[in-house]
Structure formats: C-alpha cells, structure tokens
C-alpha cells in the first residue's frame, strides 16, 4: 500500500507565538533570540528574513542587517506549552505521530482518506485554536514530505503525488536534502553535483566509496526513497541546558544564579518526561574557549532542582578553585536517565519532599508563567541581569 505521510512544521514558531500574544507585532520584522550582544537568532519573522536575517546568526549581525527589527527574549516554557497543544491537535488526526523538536512532526495518515483534505483541516484547526500558521508537505515518504513543506513555507500545503518524487526533487539544490551540510555540499560540488537530480544520477558504488554508509542514504534520498516509519523518537539519553554570558565573568553570585536557573530548567524537563537522572555534569567554557566538564554520579536517581543545583554548585566551586579564568559559558547536563517508578521508594524523605515541591511549582508556572515563582538562588539575577525574565 502506498503510504501517505504528512510533514507539519509551524512557521517562524517562536516569533509566531509572540505575535499571537501581541498582535501588534504581526507583519513586522521580529526576532526571538538569546541575550545580546552574544546571543544568536533562534527564530526570525519572514519580514526579518527578507532582509537576510537567519536562525543561528549572531543578534548583532541580525540588527545590522535589519536595524528596525523588534528583538524579544526566548520564553521556552511558553513555547513548550504551545507545542503541547500543537501535538495534541495532530494526535487527533492519526495515532502514528513522530514529533521532531517543538514545532515539527510527521504524521502517517495512510488509509484515512484524502491527505490534502486532512492537511487543510489540520491547518485551519492550528489557525483557529493556536492563532499560528503551519506548513504541510505530503508525500509517500518522510524525506520527500519534509522537503515539500520546506519549499511551501510559510502557510503552505504541497503534495508530491506518488511516482512524482524524482521529478519533484531533480531541480532542487542538494542542500535541501537532510544530511547535506556544508562539508558534504562542498565535496559534491567538487564532483560537479549541484542539484538533487545530478546526485540521483551518480552510481551508488561511487557514493558509497566517497561517503561510506551515508552515501547510501544520500542515494536513496536523492531518488525519493525513504522507508523509515513514522514513529515516536527514542527518549534522549541526556538533558542539558547552557548559556553564554554577555560578558566573560568571574562573579560567583552571577554564576551561581545562572546555575540555579539552568538546574531548574533541566529539572523541569526531567519531570516533564517523568524521568530521573543519576549523573550530573557541569560544563564550563572559559574566556580562552577552553572547555571542561566535571561529573558526579548519584547513588539514587533524582529529579529535584535543588539536588541538581547543589551538585552542580559543588562541581563549580571545585572548578573555580583550580582555575581563575573568567567564564564564557556555563551549562548543566543530566544523564544516566531512568524511568520514574522503580526509584521512588529509594529516595530519602527530604528529597522526596523537594521533588513534590518542584511538581507544585511546575504546575503554578505552567498556569501563570515562569516568573511568578522565583527561588532565592536566582533572585540576584534580578539585580545583575534586570531583563533576564
Ligand atoms: P524551525 O522550524 O527551523 O524554524 P521556525 O519555526 O522559526 O521557522 P520556519 O519553520 O518557518 O522556517 O525551528 C523551530 C523553532 O526552533 C524556532 O522557532 C526557534 C527554534 N530554533 C532555535 O532555537 N535555533 C535554531 O537555530 C533554529 C533553526 C530553531
Ligand atoms: Mg518551524
């Protein structure tokens, strides 16, 4: 049976969420990003993109290209909330759903009727319930559906009919293929290959010889062949959050407050996933770009912000005692993740209490916003980085 796969991707996701909240921002060049001056663009409205602004670009460069752009700080908890609603809408259309990040998913709707009809109903529900626009690509496999949605953006709907995959892909640049980054693109250019059609015409043994196993994937993708199923991704092996400071710092209270904030975000994600961690790793990048990581293994897996923070803080104190170089970036990672249930009874009662408190705080924050409740350890942020919220 020929499959019907939808690739759904929200347009300018972070920016669109902000615009849905503040309609006066609609139709304007808007950028959502990290802290200036070192932050990068996470999402840019199509008006800002028209002036050359792209995701991943330093904010300073984005503002040079588009001086009138309105810059907003990222608000992950809010985007996560919207993402959950988006995924819930998708789940009404098929049990076979594969989320990719927050704003993107594959859906297998084989045998459920007209895929284009499903796609347009889905788009209008997203518009009416979330005030967002989505672009949908439809094809008989994931890779072609994804390329189709990429071409149809924004607010588009593009179907590649069965049998038309190769013709559809042929004129497109190879960079449209997942897995073709700068390096692969360069090698292909050296081989005289610019379009997907030219790539599809290369003999498989040559691609295997040049790119090893990924040469086979390239060959299949270029020919519109992708047998992979739509399935939920296997759970991540670790969760991490990190931040680069606007200026390199040795200010301990700032490092401590930032660590507190990052620990809460890691803890929140652990609890969202109903998982616990046994390994906590601190990451520091110094002003000279040298990077270190220091880890600690817990006896019992946990998900309490306080435990993550305290372990991280101990690692930070040790690292700073050894090196007095200013810090450029700080990050915290939890790994050796386990499911929640088997561990519960092993927690001591103090940790159990902390975790219960975290769940209550998570609940309040999801309802009323992240900054309604703030722990003492991040209070110094308000003084040091008045705009962090
Ligand atoms: P994308 O879907 O790649 O980008 P987008 O939704 O902003 O724009 P479009 O799909 O219309 O091209 O990524 C989804 C979100 O992920 C994006 O809104 C912000 C975040 N993101 C980053 O934080 N950093 C990045 O480098 C990219 C590409 C995305
Ligand atoms: Mg998107």
Angle, helices 204-211 vs 213-222, to 10°: value is 140
In the chain, which stretches have pLDDT less than 70?
A: 36-37, 340-347, 380-389
What is d(CA 351, CA 355) in angstroms, rounded to the nearest whole number? 6
Centre of ligand 1 to C-alpha 72, Å, is 14
Pocket flag, ligand 1, residue 75 (CB < 6 Å): no
Length in residues, the chain: 389
- Whole-number pLDDT of residue 389: 45
**Is the bond preceding residue 154 a cis peptide, omega within 30 degrees?**
yes
Closest residue (by CA) to atom 5 of ligand 1?
12
What is d(CA 15, CA 296) in angstroms, rounded to the nearest whole number? 38
Contact 51/29 with Cβ under 8 angstroms?
A: yes
Atom nearest to 9 CA in ligand 1? 10
What's the token pair of residue 120?
Answer: 């347009």
What's the token pair of residue 230?
Answer: 């739509």
pTM of the entire structure?
Answer: 0.71
Residue of 17, 42, 74, 123 with the most ligand 1 atoms within 8 Å of its CB, for mutation: 42
- Whole-number pLDDT of residue 17: 98
Pocket flag, ligand 1, residue 103 (CB < 6 Å): yes
Condensed to tens digits (0 to 9), the pLDDT of residues 97-132 reads 999 999 999 999 999 999 999 999 999 999 999 999
What is d(CA 2, CA 13) in angstroms, rounded to the nearest whole number? 31
Buried b (16+ CB within 10 A) or exposed e, 362-372: beebbeeebee
Pocket flag, ligand 1, residue 43 (CB < 6 Å): yes
């Amino acid at each position: 049976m020929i499959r019907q796969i939808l690739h759904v991707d929200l347009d300018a996701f972070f920016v669109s969420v902000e615009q849905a909240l503040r309609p006066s921002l609609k139709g304007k060049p808007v950028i959502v990003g990290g802290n200036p001056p070192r932050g990068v663009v996470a999402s840019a409205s199509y008006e800002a993109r028209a002036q050359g602004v792209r995701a991943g670009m330093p904010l300073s460069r984005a503002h040079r290209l588009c001086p009138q752009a309105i810059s907003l700080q990222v608000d992950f908890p809010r985007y996560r909330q919207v993402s959950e609603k988006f995924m819930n809408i998708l789940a009404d259309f098929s049990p076979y759903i594969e989320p990719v990040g927050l704003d993107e998913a594959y859906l297998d709707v084989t045998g459920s009727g007209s895929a284009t009809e499903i796609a347009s109903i889905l788009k209008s529900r997203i518009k009416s319930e979330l005030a967002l626009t989505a672009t949908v690509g439809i094809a008989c496999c994931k890779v072609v559906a994804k390329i189709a949605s990429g071409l149809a953006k924004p607010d588009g709907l593009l179907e590649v009919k069965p049998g038309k995959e190769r013709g559809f892909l042929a004129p497109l640049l190879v960079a449209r293929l997942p897995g073709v980054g700068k390096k692969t693109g360069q090698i292909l250019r050296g081989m005289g290959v610019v379009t997907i059609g030219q790539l599809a015409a290369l003999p498989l043994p040559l691609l295997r010889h040049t790119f090893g196993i990924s040469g086979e994937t390239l060959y299949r993708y270029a020919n519109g062949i992708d047998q992979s199923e739509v399935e939920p991704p296997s759970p991540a092996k670790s969760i991490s959050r990190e931040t680069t400071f606007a200026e390199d710092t040795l200010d301990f209270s700032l490092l401590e407050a930032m660590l507190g904030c990052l620990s809460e975000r890691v803890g929140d994600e652990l609890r969202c996933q109903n998982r616990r961690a046994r390994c906590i790793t601190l990451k520091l990048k110094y002003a000279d770009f040298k990077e270190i990581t220091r880890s600690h293994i817990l006896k019992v897996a946990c998900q309490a912000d306080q435990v993550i923070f305290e372990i991280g803080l101990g690692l930070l104190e040790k690292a700073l005692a050894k090196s007095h170089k200013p810090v450029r970036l700080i990050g915290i990672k939890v790994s050796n993740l386990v499911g929640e249930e088997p561990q519960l009874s092993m927690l001591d009662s103090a940790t159990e209490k902390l975790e219960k408190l975290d769940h209550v705080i998570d609940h309040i924050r999801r309802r009323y916003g992240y900054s309604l409740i703030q722990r003492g350890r991040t209070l110094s942020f308000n003084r040091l980085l008045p705009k962090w919220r």
